[in-house]
Amino acid sequence: MSNATNVAAAFELASELYQAQGVDVGAALQRLSEVAISVHCWQGDDVSGFEGEAGTLGDGLAVTGNYPGRARTADELRRDLEVAYSLIPGKHRLNLHALYGEFNGPVDRDEIGVEHFQGWIDWSRDRKVDLDFNPSYFSHPKASDGFTLAHADAGIRQFWIDHGIACRKIAAAMGAAQGNACLNNFWVPDGYKDTPASRKAPRERLASSLDAIFADDLPQNQTLDAVECKLFGIGSESYVVGSHEFYMGYAISRNKVLCLDAGHFHPTEVISDKISSALMYVPELLLHVSRGVRWDSDHVVTYSDELQAIMQEIVRGDYLDRVHIGLDFFDASINRVAAWAIGTRNALKALLAALLEPTEQLQQLERDGDLTARLVLMEEQKTMPLGAVWNYYCESTGVPVGAQWLEKVRQYEGSVTSKRCDESVMA
């Protein structure tokens, strides 16, 4: 039998086994095909951006590794992304940071405009890849002391407020062009390395700055504002202004999307348990699916217990229409295109596993108090033939099955990325 025939035969058998549990595999695959993961641009170039020297990574962020071939221009990054998308089943989005504009000369963060992202908007239209956006509150001289929107200096605060306002206008233009809302996520690194004398004052300044940025109501069919919390960072180990409690309260009181990043909490704390609680009080959630190893190290997403738990929580709570799934990792120790493919395929695979659960049966057993049967079915799910369904989905959407995609990455590396020099090139 051909490989395609094997894939189809395995899928038919798997479908019968799932059907015996009351699971409609076709419906699960249809629902999966409707989910767009927001793939993050910064894996492709180690969070360098295209601003030149001003964009040198720092201010609480670090990328490790020196694998050759990082993207140095917007065109190179777009080309790499197109290869990555060709390896991932489904139609997905791109999450773009403000430092990835095409500036053609020095443009400071408070002066950026739609014109600097027109190339991305045109590419988005031509490739049918919708855009999300992020202001960039790091890797800048005015963030070098660890503070931006919560800075004690009113002038520096205003600079970053103006940056946020500019980014909202850019996000709205992206949303208008693509015909659906561009999610614009605000994360700031502000905090202290050692114990502060006042935790209150910076938080008051941050809230005031955010209120100024969000003062103008923009059409929600063009852009949605999200705010992202963090427990600690490099250089802010003792205190981060924008904590989980701060942004939870801010999102509730200002009707904003709350962003939960899998690496932004205690090492033993997980975001899967927070989803149902947060969605009782905020309209929507943005998830940054990542993998922290002992700290917020943003390792490539693997098929881990927590990844599965995140997707199970979304499906079991019927939250797919209220949760935006994005990725956030950057690994310069391996091929960058491969990293995108590994992480995004794993996120989709975990979501498929959740969609293939007999959710209603499990919840009915729970309502009936039959916790024994609930546990039995949950455990049986772990050895169900997910791989056969996943392979069929990949085959039917025209992307490589199994690890076959790695050969395409190696060919692209041999012909394109390995020939890039280490020196940066302005877009």
Return the bridge partners of 233, or none. 236
d(CA 100, CA 136): 9
Residue 321: active-site member: no
Active-site residue, from 45, 298, 313, 331: 298
d(CA 337, CA 340): 5
Active-site residue, from 97, 151, 244, 264: 264
- Which residue intervals of 279-316 are DSSP H helices? 305-316
H or E, element range at 258 = strand 257-261
Residue 193: active-site member: no
Quote the strand ranges of 158-247, DSSP E: 182-186, 191-192, 223-228, 239-240
Residue 161 buriedness (CB in 10 A; 0-12 / 13-18 / 19+): buried
Residue 116: active-site member: no
- Torsion angle (degrees, nearest 10) of CA 385, 389, 394, 400: 30
Active-site residue, from 59, 228, 313, 331: 228
Active-site residue, from 163, 230, 244, 349: 230
Active-site residue, from 42, 187, 390, 405: 187
Is residue 228 classed as helix, strand or coil in its secondary structure?
strand
Active-site residue, from 244, 274, 288, 299: 288
The dihedral region occupied by 59, where left means phi > 0, alpha psi between -120 and 50, and beta the remainder, is: left
| Among 221, 208, 373, 229, CA closest to 288 | 229
The answer to whether the beta carbons of residues 18 and 384 sit under 8 Å apart is yes
C-alpha distances (whole Å) from 2 to each of 6, 202, 406 are: 6, 64, 20
Residue 230: active-site member: yes
H or E, element range at 323 = strand 323-327
Active-site residue, from 59, 306, 328, 395: 328
Active-site residue, from 225, 261, 313, 413: 261
Residue 163: active-site member: no
Residue 422: active-site member: no
Residue type at position 40: H
Active-site residue, from 296, 313, 395, 413: 296
Residue 187: active-site member: yes
Catalytic machinery residues: 187, 228, 230, 261, 264, 288, 296, 298, 328
